[in-house]
Structure 1
Amino acid sequence: MKTLLKSLCLFSLIFTSFLYAQTVTKSTFLVKGECAMCKERIENTAKKTGAKTANWNANTQQLEVEFDATKTSADQILKKIADVGHDNEKFAAADVVYGNLPSCCHYDRAPSFLKKEISSKPVKNDHQFFVRGNCSSCKARIEKAAASAGADSATWDAETQIVTLNFNPEKTSADLILKKIADVGHDNEMYTSKDDTYKNLPGCCLYDRELPLGVKSDLVHHDEAPAPKKDFSQHADHFDKSIEEVRLIKLADATALSKKETGLTFNIGTKELLKAACCNLSESFETNATVDVSFTNAVTGTKQLKMLGLDQKYTSLTKELLPSIRGLAAPYGLNLIPGRWIGGIQLTKGGSTVVNGYESITGQINTELLKVNEKPETAINFFADANGRLESNITTTSQLNEHWSQSLLLHGNATLGKIDSNNDGFLDQPTGNQINAAYLLNYNDLEHSGLGTHFGISFVKDERFGGQTAFDKKIDRSQQNAYGVGIDLSRFEIWNKTGYIFKGKPYQSIGWMNQFTTHQQDSFFGNRNYWGNQNTFYSNLVFESIIGNTNNKFKTGASFLYDQYDEDYLTQNYKRTETVPGLFFEYTLTGLKYTLVAGARTDFHNLAGTQFTPRLNFKYDVLPKTILRLSAGKGFRTANIFAESQQYFGSNRQIEILGNGGKIYDLQPEIAWNYGASVQQEFKLFNRKATLVADFFRTDFQNQVLTDLDISPQKIVFYNLEGESFANSFQTQLDFVPAKNLEMRLAYKYYDVKADFLGGKREIPFMAKNRGFFNASYATDKTDKGAFWNIDATLQLIGKQKLPNLNANPSEYRLPEYSKSYTTLNAQISRNFNKNIRAYIGGENLLGYTQNRPIIDTENPFGNYFDAGMIYAPVMGANVYFGLDFKF
């Protein structure tokens, strides 16, 4: 009896399991999404609709579900998922629901995953194929060609790029129909149309032949980074199973304004950097409207960036998110990062995150170096210009194994030409050379072990000589009468960044960054000597997690900054050591239409005292294509008056410091608040995507170290602000595509920058109130071999600028109150012969405008009135350059 009961129980269990197995269904569906919030929303909705398990993968865009077919169905689950905003292969989300998703969840809705309903009766002769096209004219042409080849019916969908064919296999075949479609100009998964046929299509029908099959041409106008891998194999009945994956590559714009970032952040890619010569970081912004680039003086040939109407020193310049161009590196550091080493630049206007430090006042510019992208690559670049400047770059990135990759970056340049175009007896640019090398090693196993690390080391040696043409660097200065300038720089950096993502918690991570830098400058300007050495150690520990769910994220951690300065100016020595331990916390709240980032840090500066730095950024998606941003934040820094004023060392002005008891040059630290607001609007112009951005920022200084050039033409006087100092910045920028392959950018900027100097409130010198900007870029269609032309041009209008008061000088050595307005034009033409060879030729300052008498009293360089620092316009006339790029 017991045996019988056991048998009945076992039989019942097996039978029940069998019945359950018959009703439990395992299925995989394509569901669109973008981020961790999407994953949570999709999986929770599926489970609420009856799914036993649900797992959505952002990379493959696939949802794996198990459900009891007696209680729910695939249609019910997918319908509910569409109801909360996620398109899938059976249902599309309502536009209103999609628009109300948080901006980080806004996936690309084209191409669609949606499949057409198929009759319950199987139709053996109904087939689907990928066919490229753009518009209603394409649809008519494709369907007509299919009909002429014997198809009973043909329906082409522009959204999915799929043609559905119904035909009798005894009368025709898919091969014949697709051949006929290719003959009228439309590439498909079996045949490619002839070039002449494609080129003769109407302009609206010219799809992008470089995109993967099934991807709409207008995707090239999207502005985000490359999309993750996605599986499109279920779209086609005749998908080639020998291909492991089909990858949707969303082509990034040259400069893209991120819609997801809370701050006003521009991502500058290599495409933008190739629009100009871009020999170093200072020249990487020639085609960018946000940053102003200007020469600092007439003898050193260096350039300076300005943002929001203030000097470069108020912008945080980082490399790999580590402090880079600061302290003694401020005057020449931009020249020490070669343009061909740059993998990308992130530019943020206004106060940046507190995680990266306290020094950002007007914004942050972060430079990322080249790393392995899709495949290993070695590139060689040669550059030469008409003024005798020669450069060469060798960069190689390679994958060592599954987890390790490396980058080797080499650069060398020499300026050999002694140019004096205005015949004033002084070189227009210094001669000299630079040797630069860096090595990067990367480990990435985030997917499995959660560990990643990055190591870097770099060294640069740079020598420059300028001054009078008669100056000979080989002769001791005591034995010659000519005025000379010599600048000898050396810099060494070593850094590491290590991060760990907690297993099973993709939202929780910890990272630790460390960097050591030594920078040395040995220089002379006529009879004026300057020597400086800076040793810096920086460490930053960051922990990131959530509070409850991914709508509430936080970052917290501790940082430490050590700066040791040793400077000799003339016969006086200045030494100081700054130690700055700090703590920070940053909270991010994400709602349906808004993102709020609130952060604060406290730094315990041994010389400047305890400093509290709060920052706030708010983004609100008014509409899916209308974004409002607000920001407010505080920053502080310690001034390095000798390094940051070297543009005036090419003169005989005497330096005077009016101290007030501070511990750094007898001066107090600089403290400022920055407030900003911006509106970003996307719309259609010429039936193509356009973006309009308008922003306003104001910077108010609580304390500032003023550099006063007006007290006397023979003095530079430094003192702390007593009163008001502010900078108002307004900019509006329009990016649009008026025709195929033609991109344009228009911008206007207005600055109002004033301070209370000892002599009263005055405009800050060398700052144009009005600036205009225009950039156009045109590319021809690629040939079968991948060849194409690129033409780029940038026109800038710089308004009049307030000049220092030199009225105490004799009349021949004075300047007007304001400079004249002027216009500059840069242009470049490049030819890509294939994917591996590129040649380019271009010109800078092609309109040839130069400042009249850039150096005051050139006849007496050791006299009282000599001054080479009063520069407001180009010193050199039109310059032409040529370059070659090779990739392997």
Structure 2
Amino acid sequence: MKLYISRIILGIFLLSAQFILAQNLSKNQFKVKGNCEMCKERIENTAKKAGAKTATYSIDLQTLTLETDSNISTDEILKKIAEAGHDNEKFKALNENYNNLPECCHYDRDSKTQTAENHEHQSKKENEFYVKGNCESCKARIEKAAKDAGADSAEWNAEKQMVTLNFDPKKTSSDKILKKIADVGHDNEKYKSNDKTYKKLPSCCLYDREIPFGEANPKVHDEEGTTSEHGDHNDHNITKNHENHEKNIEGVTVIGSKAETSLNKKEAGLVFNIDRKELLKAACCNLSESFETNATVDVSFSNAVTGTKQLKMLGLDQKYTSLTKELLPEIRGLASAYGLNFIPGRWIESIQLTKGGSTVTNGYESITGQINTELLKNAEKPETSLNLFSDFNGRAEANITSVSPINDKWSQTFLLHGNGTFGDTDMNDDEFLDRPKGTQLNTAYLLNYNDLENSGLGSHFGINFIKDQRTSGQIGFDKKILQDKQSLYGVGIDISRFQVWNKTGYVFKGKPYQSLGWMNQYTYHQQDSFFGLRNYSGKQQTYYSNLIFESILGNTNHKYKAGASFMYDGYDETYLTDNFKRNEIVPGAFAEYTLTGLKYTLVAGARVDFHNLAGTQFTPRLNFKYDFTPQTILRLSAGRGFRTANVFAESQQYFASNRSVQILQNGGNIYGLKPEIAWNYGASLQQEFKIFGRKSTIVADFFRTDFQDQVMVDLDRSPQQLTFYNLDGKSFANSFQTQWDFTPFKNFDIRLAYKYYDVQADYLDGRREVPFMAKHRGFVNLAYSTNKNNKGGFWSFDTTLNLVGKQRLPNTSSNPEEFQLPTYSESYSILNAQISRNFNKKIRAYLGGENLTSYYQKNAIVDFKNPFGNYFDGGMVYAPIMKANIYVGLDVTF
């Protein structure tokens, strides 16, 4: 008993001592930026060399705990750490020191350390002053201006952005010298140059003005060189691009920059991060409308009856792109045709778009790339938002999102969406609805647990239910009456969908680079539909599990991931009277290695999957990035992917026709067909440079996809037939895109892009261009916003122009002449625009228009007067079928 009590007392003593020690250490704890184990080693060694008795750095917490003697200054230690390349709460590293760090050590730098206060910590002497410049011409100009203002000598250092002055205080002053330097075009810590003077500098001298040096209220010069208080541009605000988050520091508001769409420079692959603000530039009622301001993804119109849209990337259909939600499989299988409508735009927190082969850890189905959607789940304080939307053609929707922390570890999200399309819209006078009528109810609940700092454990749980009902076809069709009891042609689509998922991760204590993650998801999807007198129904049950272990080999320059996955798909489909059932069971294993050097990153991965119907499949993928300079980046990629085609679900756009379906089997186990296999190769070059003194980026990329056993969807054998068969020969897609993003002046962003596609395949009767794919596409996006007023209000203006070249149309030469289509479609353009007004941080109203050029396909339905005849076809759609559509919306945050 005594031994037991003594152990309790000893335990209490040790815990108390540990607590007291922790309290003492917290007095010497500082925020320091770092990324990996190499950063940890560098920071701790630098601190010890600078005089610290002990130094412990936490990567997770981004904190450095120091023990020092009383005669050692922690400021001196933190200054040395900044000189080693690591920003901290008192000192900011020079750009050159940061850039010299290994690639894996490049932590995210935000504007919180980029204030005048931080500059003062860089051991600036009384005769040293911060002056902006770029090159040797700047150096000569600055030094000459200083001497002209009375300085005995002046030396400007480009690396430190600092001028050292020697002068006689009786003859001149630092204020006069710095004013003269601003007069010749160079911002400094006391004076900001006039905009016109700055713009007259040679192009090589146009330095970055986004975060200017200066006092809390810097002064700006007019044409005559006199000073005045800042006006609209910089009054108490130092602005970098669009406003994202704010922090007040001694009267200065520093507004951090986060581009709405940005290319991730750290990723070996071509990965674009699309922020929630980008989605607000357009109507964005669902995922299919989330890419209207994005040049990489093409949005196509699938048919003239069901009103659905499909995405295309790298010149290939949506089915070849992996579409995930929370990194879990989402739009695939029976959800292929309508799944884009099931993710409301207001639910989306961000989108990650990867062009080309993605990581093997996310599965084997990605061929042209991956689009991952993250739902709203992050909030420091409770936030509830209401969105109301309506267009002038009978569509209305409402969204309620509520994100709230429960305590310091738990948070929850409620998501509710409802939409309805009412009234008869027929803009081309063919007596068919241009889009279906109906309703959707969509609700989700997310629960998040985050205790990574203490226990290393984090978890995310989600549940989602969808009920979607649509009716289309001829005006006057009554869904309540049996199909064969009425003369009108109708389409009915009823979908029920249920999902539940969980993601749990554990970070090993003391090893922030080592983690274990496990993802699980169950999906039930049911569709009952009819197209005229043709019925199609299907049920799909999917269970997905993925276990991932991540660690390093020696140091963080050598990282690896390894794991196992399991996929079960149970399908039960009925088309007309034919029933198709199958179960796909796919256990798999994968490994991926990442090598990081000073200027390069190599990601090599492979997986093996044991498909019960498709056999054993080996999937290697490789991504390589080389930084010639921080502004010039080359990327290369190559990889393999495979998938099993769901020929009925993925081709529903052709069901609204009188084509008979034929499958030419060749011994495979999925509809008698073999799995599709494809190799994708890509190269891209990213170049950043300054134009008008502001950051500008050009990205050019080329990708090629080669298929083996591709399941061909042949529309050309006969206008009355839809034929499926495996490829016998070659099928390829060449995709070239160049995109230029730049900001000619404050708050005005321009995005220009051109795309060229060459997509061909060997059909049964020879090689042809794949239909409905324009070879040439152009893209222009303009975005402008005004400065915020004192209440936080501002205007935003967004315009997007899509130029679409001619497309090959399926062969209809055997039809009577009046029902024949031309070999190629017309070229056309689509203009979308939106004006929004933020009254404050709580209320936003917007007015927009889609297809403002009002171009529409006049004969979207072949033989629309006789929908039960041999020549009726609603699937020959290559352009919009609706004229201009105006919409209004309101966002309110509580």
- With normalisation by structure 1, the TM-score equals 0.84
Structure 2 counterparts to residues 125-524 of structure 1, below 5 A: 216-217=238-239, 219-220=240-241, 250-524=256-530
Evaluate the alpha carbon distance shift between residue 90 and residue 563 of structure 1 in structure 2; reply closer, same or farther with a 3 A threshold. Answer: closer
CA RMSD of aligned residues (A): 4.1
**Residue 757 (structure 1) aligned to one of 756, 763, 769:** 763
In structure 2, give the amino acid aligned to 1:354.
Answer: V
Q: Secondary structure at the match of 2:753?
A: strand
Give yes or no for the alignment of 1:602 onto 2:603.
Answer: no
Question: What is the Cα deviation at residue 260 of structure 1?
Answer: 1.1
Structure 2 counterpart of 1:788: 794
Give yes or no for the alignment of 1:39 onto 2:60.
Answer: no
Structure 1 counterpart of 2:843: 837
Structure 2 counterpart of 1:8: none
Cα distance in 1 for residues equivalent to 2:852 and 2:841: 30
Evaluate the alpha carbon distance shift between residue 75 and residue 842 of structure 1 in structure 2; reply closer, same or farther with a 3 A threshold. Answer: closer
Q: Deviations over 1:71-97 (max 9, x none)?
A: x99899678756654467679557377
Q: Deviations over 1:1-53 (max 9, x none)?
A: xxxxxxxxxxxxxxxxxxxxxxxxx9777765455543333223444676542
Cα distance in 2 for residues equivalent to 1:82 and 1:377: 37
In structure 2, give the amino acid aligned to 1:444.
Answer: N
**Residue 546 (structure 2) aligned to one of 540, 559, 569:** 540
Question: What is the Cα deviation at residue 473 of structure 1?
Answer: 1.7
Evaluate the alpha carbon distance shift between residue 118 and residue 783 of structure 1 in structure 2; reply closer, same or farther with a 3 A threshold. Answer: closer
Structure 2 counterpart of 1:554: 560
Question: What is the Cα deviation at residue 479 of structure 1?
Answer: 1.4
Structure 1 counterpart of 2:569: 563
Q: Deviations over 1:816-862 (max 9, x none)?
A: 11111000000000001111111100000000001120000011101
Cα distance in 1 for residues equivalent to 2:651 and 2:228: 59
Q: Secondary structure at the match of 2:651?
A: helix
Cα distance in 2 for residues equivalent to 1:203 and 1:523: 67
Structure 1 residue ranges without an equivalent (≥5)? 1-25, 141-156, 162-180, 195-199, 234-238, 241-245
Question: What is the Cα deviation at residue 807 of structure 1?
Answer: 0.4
8 Å contact kept, 1:696–1:730: yes
In structure 2, give the amino acid aligned to 1:309.
Answer: G
Cα distance in 2 for residues equivalent to 1:41 and 1:353: 30
Cα distance in 2 for residues equivalent to 1:598 and 1:78: 38
Q: Deviations over 1:229-254 (max 9, x none)?
A: 9xx98xxxxx69xxxxx997633111
Evaluate the alpha carbon distance shift between residue 158 and residue 428 of structure 1 in structure 2; reply closer, same or farther with a 3 A threshold. Answer: farther
Evaluate the alpha carbon distance shift between residue 582 and residue 779 of structure 1 in structure 2; reply closer, same or farther with a 3 A threshold. Answer: same
Structure 1 counterpart of 2:578: 572
Give yes or no for the alignment of 1:694 onto 2:694.
Answer: no
Cα distance in 2 for residues equivalent to 1:547 and 1:558: 20
Question: What is the Cα deviation at residue 572 of structure 1?
Answer: 0.5
Structure 2 counterpart of 1:711: 717
**Residue 748 (structure 2) aligned to one of 742, 752, 755:** 742
In structure 2, give the amino acid aligned to 1:102.
Answer: E
- Stretch deviating more after TM superposition (576-585 or 37-46): 37-46
Cα distance in 2 for residues equivalent to 1:578 and 1:435: 30
Cα distance in 1 for residues equivalent to 2:546 and 2:832: 41
8 Å contact kept, 2:236–2:253: no
Give yes or no for the alignment of 1:529 onto 2:535.
Answer: yes
Question: What is the Cα deviation at residue 740 of structure 1?
Answer: 1.0
8 Å contact kept, 1:618–1:630: yes
Question: What is the Cα deviation at residue 591 of structure 1?
Answer: 1.0
Structure 2 counterpart of 1:847: 853
Evaluate the alpha carbon distance shift between residue 650 and residue 109 of structure 1 in structure 2; reply closer, same or farther with a 3 A threshold. Answer: closer
Q: Secondary structure at the match of 2:438?
A: strand
**Residue 647 (structure 1) aligned to one of 642, 653, 667:** 653
Q: Secondary structure at the match of 2:863?
A: coil
In structure 1, give the amino acid aligned to 2:751.
Answer: R
Evaluate the alpha carbon distance shift between residue 118 and residue 859 of structure 1 in structure 2; reply closer, same or farther with a 3 A threshold. Answer: closer
Q: Name the % identity.
A: 65
Question: What is the Cα deviation at residue 681 of structure 1?
Answer: 1.1
Structure 2 counterpart of 1:868: 874
Question: What is the Cα deviation at residue 659 of structure 1?
Answer: 0.4
Q: Secondary structure at the match of 1:335?
A: helix
Q: Deviations over 1:575-599 (max 9, x none)?
A: 0000000001111111111111111
How many pairs align? 808
8 Å contact kept, 1:542–1:555: yes
Structure 1 counterpart of 2:637: 631
Evaluate the alpha carbon distance shift between residue 57 and residue 737 of structure 1 in structure 2; reply closer, same or farther with a 3 A threshold. Answer: farther
Cα distance in 2 for residues equivalent to 1:383 and 1:221: 25
Cα distance in 2 for residues equivalent to 1:35 and 1:205: 43
8 Å contact kept, 2:217–2:236: no
8 Å contact kept, 2:307–2:435: yes
Evaluate the alpha carbon distance shift between residue 103 and residue 800 of structure 1 in structure 2; reply closer, same or farther with a 3 A threshold. Answer: farther
**Residue 884 (structure 2) aligned to one of 864, 867, 878:** 878
8 Å contact kept, 1:78–1:91: no
8 Å contact kept, 2:754–2:776: yes
Structure 2 counterpart of 1:144: none
Structure 1 counterpart of 2:206: none
8 Å contact kept, 1:380–1:887: yes
Structure 2 counterpart of 1:11: none
Cα distance in 2 for residues equivalent to 1:405 and 1:613: 38
In structure 2, give the amino acid aligned to 1:780.
Answer: T
Question: What is the Cα deviation at residue 627 of structure 1?
Answer: 1.0
Q: Secondary structure at the match of 2:716?
A: coil
Cα distance in 1 for residues equivalent to 2:404 and 2:44: 38
Structure 2 counterpart of 1:818: 824
Structure 2 residue ranges without an equivalent (≥5)? 1-26, 133-137, 143-157, 163-189, 195-211, 221-225
Give yes or no for the alignment of 1:671 onto 2:682.
Answer: no
Cα distance in 2 for residues equivalent to 1:573 and 1:97: 63
Evaluate the alpha carbon distance shift between residue 90 and residue 523 of structure 1 in structure 2; reply closer, same or farther with a 3 A threshold. Answer: closer
Q: Deviations over 1:100-138 (max 9, x none)?
A: 63165165497274525477xxx9xx9x9x9x9xxx9xx
Cα distance in 2 for residues equivalent to 1:604 and 1:518: 23
Question: What is the Cα deviation at residue 402 of structure 1?
Answer: 1.1
- With normalisation by structure 2, the TM-score equals 0.83
Structure 1 counterpart of 2:18: none
- Stretch deviating more after TM superposition (509-518 or 30-39): 30-39
8 Å contact kept, 1:99–1:624: no
Evaluate the alpha carbon distance shift between residue 48 and residue 756 of structure 1 in structure 2; reply closer, same or farther with a 3 A threshold. Answer: farther
Q: Deviations over 1:623-677 (max 9, x none)?
A: 0111111111110000000000001001000000000010000000000011111
Cα distance in 1 for residues equivalent to 2:643 and 2:399: 35
Question: What is the Cα deviation at residue 566 of structure 1?
Answer: 0.1
Question: What is the Cα deviation at residue 770 of structure 1?
Answer: 0.4
Cα distance in 2 for residues equivalent to 1:842 and 1:594: 44
Evaluate the alpha carbon distance shift between residue 608 and residue 55 of structure 1 in structure 2; reply closer, same or farther with a 3 A threshold. Answer: same
| Structure 1 runs, 4 residues or longer, greater than 2 Å off | 26-70, 72-101, 106-110, 112-119, 157-161, 184-194, 200-211, 219-222, 246-251, 372-375
